[in-house]
Amino acid sequence: MVLRRALALAVTIAAGAIPAASGCARISGLDAWEIVDDAAPVADASVDQGAGDVSIDPAVDPSIDPGVGDTGSNESASEGGDSAQLDTGVEAEAGPDLDASVDAASDAPAPECEAGAGECQGLVPRTCDATGHWKSGTACQYVCQAGACTGVCVPGSKRCSGNLVQTCQPAGQWNTGVKCGDAKPACFEGACVTPSCVGMASKCGKGADQSCCGASEVTGGTFKRSYDAVNATDQSYGATVSTFVLDRYEVTVGRYRKFVEQYPASKPAAGSGRNPHNTSDAGWNASWPLPADQAELKSRLKCSAGYQTWTDASGGNEAKPINCLDWYMAYAFCIWDGGRLPTEAEWNYAAAGGGDASGHRVFPWSDPPNAWGIDPTYAVYECLADGNASCSLADLPVVGSRSPKGDARWGQADMAGSLWEWTQDWFVEPYPVPCVDCASLGTGTLRVMRGGGFDADAANGSLLNVQRNYDAPGASFYSHGVRCARSP
């Protein structure tokens, strides 16, 4: 008797005679052994290569049913209850080891994906290869979609197309764009800006690193004009002001240069520059006098050889406030730049910090409102900016040089000191009442100015928020400047 392994898998054995007395037979791919009689006559055994069944020639052993031989469960063949045991008698060669093939297949990584599929990991495209595994490609510049790079721009980025601001959509394509409005009619580096700010370097503020074109919203409310409860206590002249935007800084030489470069094409059109909160405001009057051409405008900006900030060529004064402006030259610039002149009530309201518990300030920076402190770290005045008492152009530094210490409640700098700033109103005394977004627009001979100049004397009250000044609209002087108001 010998041990023989029972068939568990279908195998193919090369056809041919199997020696009868070979003892124990082992067939690759089988998973059990059984005891057989090694003397049993087996004259002819062959393996059906097509089906994996073992067949016996009935002419040699009639007791074997030719139909039996399926080795899927055991190797017994019965005929009328008699059984015949199949014994190959040799170590059979059945081709590749199926056990090893199964082991190798189980060791191979399972497929991750369907061949040919695509996906993205962030900006990195991935493609499923023939073995069902992801392969990463080169990161996309703009957008990755379904495993492929696409798009022409970074989603969320902006650019200018004329005076349209275009935004890159999630698919990496530019939209049709939004047109810049009247307040900021020019598009620059993907944002609507005022024309004077196109290409303007950030040279303003205490660190000379702030945009000279900054503006902030002034929250509207009700207050009492020229009242601070300390120096001026008359509460008769209440006014209501709607929310508006006011430039953070006085207009600089660099910004005004843009206006000059386009002059006379930069002259305002009749009716432009209206205050949208005041229905009685007719805007610019085409009969108002302006220089005839660029040469005359440049000449008018040279009102004082020792103190004028204008230079015909760009130089070191670009971040200083432009002076030597008359009322018409100031108003025309603000209109061209998408704004207008502030009304006297608006200017007073912004400098005073409104009319609530934080308002009616003595100085723009006074917090609490009745704080009386003033020195050259808050404001530019009395020709002290360069550290000595004599006056020179060095006493008129870049705009915002005392910011943020000297800033008003809503972020405006130099509202006390630096330059006197033109407002829209005729000088009328006393103030007209009632006043809801009002301005004195009738007739007169003098226009109102506010804020004090770099040579102003603090002792006489020139820098107080309640202080008013005035001059003829055609007068240009080295202490005259402007800051523009805008729609929110």
40 vs 199, more confident: 199
pLDDT digits (tens, 9 = 90+) for 163-213: 799 999 999 999 999 998 777 878 888 988 889 988 888 899 999 999 999
pLDDT of residue 343: 98
Least confident residue range of 62-66, 344-348, 402-406, 460-464: 62-66
Does 103 lie in the same domain as 129? no
Domain containing 98 equals 1-108
User: CB atoms < 10 A from the CB of 403, how many?
Assistant: 21
pLDDT digits (tens, 9 = 90+) for 67-86: 444 444 344 333 444 443 43
Rounded Cα distance between 297 and 439, Å, is 28
Identify each DSSP E strand in 87-155 by its residue range: 118-121, 124-128, 134-136, 143-145, 148-150
The DSSP secondary-structure symbol of 367 reads S
Rounded Cα distance between 237 and 155, Å, is 53
In a domain, 252, yes or no: yes
pLDDT digits (tens, 9 = 90+) for 366-379: 999 999 999 999 99
What's the total number of domains in the chain?
3
Rounded Cα distance between 460 and 14, Å, is 123
Rounded Cα distance between 322 and 384, Å, is 19
Supply the mean pLDDT for the chain: 84
Least confident residue range of 15-24, 178-187, 435-444: 15-24
Does 484 lie in the same domain as 438? yes
State which amino acid sits at residue 33.
W
Does 293 lie in the same domain as 229? yes
pLDDT digits (tens, 9 = 90+) for 372-399: 999 999 999 999 999 988 999 999 999 9
Q: How confident is the model at residue 457 (pLDDT cuts 50, 70, 90)?
A: very high
- What CATH number did the domain enclosing 254 receive? 3.90.1580.10
Does 388 lie in the same domain as 257? yes
188 vs 301, more confident: 301
Average pLDDT over residues 454-458: 95
Residue 206: partners with Cβ closer than 8 Å, 6 or more residues away: 400, 401, 402, 403, 404
Does 407 lie in the same domain as 357? yes
Backbone angles phi, psi at 52, to 5 degrees: 85, 10
pLDDT of residue 297: 98
pLDDT of residue 43: 40
Flag whether the pTM goes above 0.75: no
Rounded Cα distance between 14 and 4, Å, is 19
- Above 50 in pLDDT, residue 41? no
| Cα 430 to Cα 226, 231, 234, 237, 444, distances in angstroms | 11, 17, 12, 9, 14
pLDDT digits (tens, 9 = 90+) for 328-349: 999 999 999 999 999 999 999 9
Does 376 lie in the same domain as 253? yes
336 close to 329: Cβ distance less than 8 angstroms = no
